[in-house]
Amino acid sequence: MASLDTLFEAAKTIQARAYVPYSRFKVGAAIVTPEGQVFTGCNVENAAYPVGSCAEAGAISAMIAGGGSRIGEIVVIGDGEHLVTPCGGCRQRIREFASPDTRIHIAGPEGIRKSFTLEELLPFSFGPDNLTDR
């Protein structure tokens, strides 16, 4: 099983590959599934700014394409002094494949700075269950 250290290193490696000619703000994300598979993603910007995608979205796409189905834990790494927590859209993307107690680790270049549960970042969330209890 991948350790948190390994997951952090995977996020840092993919962060370096981010395509960010507009913001110059590189983000990396690494997911470990409950089975121990690791999937990564980086942000990919576009000249049509709104079409750019977040690192977390890339990691989730890689997970699904690679046969994973659940997020065990996720590390998100950014630069600068502020915590780079997932944007609102990515909190919802993570929510689709995670549980309220799934841990979301926020890292800087030196290591993990703070860890949250999904419930902390996205309380009272909307999810697949809402569609089945009609």
Ligand X SMILES: O=c1ccn([C@H]2C[C@H](O)[C@@H](CO)O2)c(=O)[nH]1
Applying CB under 5 A, does 83 fall inside the site for Zn ion? Answer: no
DSSP state for residue 48 in the 8-state scheme = S
Q: Which CB sits closer to ligand X, 68 or 86? A: 86
Tokens of 87: 């944007």
- The span of 16-24, 48-56, 72-80, 110-118 binding Zn ion (CB under 5 A) equals 48-56
Q: Is the dihedral of CA 73, 79, 83, 86 positive or negative?
A: negative
Q: Is 96 a catalytic residue?
A: no
C-beta separation of 56 from 97 below 8 A:
no
Binding ligand X (rule: CB under 6 A), the pick from 15, 33, 40, 43 is 43
C-alpha–C-alpha distance, residues 54 and 44, integer Å: 7
DSSP state for residue 124 in the 8-state scheme = T
Binding ligand X (rule: CB under 6 A), the pick from 25, 69, 96, 111 is 25
Residue 130 counted as an annotated binding residue: no
C-alpha–C-alpha distance, residues 72 and 104, integer Å: 9
Q: How many CB atoms lie within 10 A of CB 20?
A: 15
Q: How many CB atoms lie within 10 A of CB 91?
A: 18
Residue 47 counted as an annotated binding residue: yes
Applying CB under 6 A, does 40 fall inside the site for ligand X? Answer: no
- The span of 4-12, 82-90, 95-103, 117-125 binding ligand X (CB under 6 A) equals 82-90
Binding ligand X (rule: CB under 6 A), the pick from 55, 62, 121, 122 is 55
Binding site for ligand X (CB under 6 A): 20, 23, 25, 27, 43, 45, 52, 54-56, 76, 84, 86-87, 90
Please list the active-site residues: 56
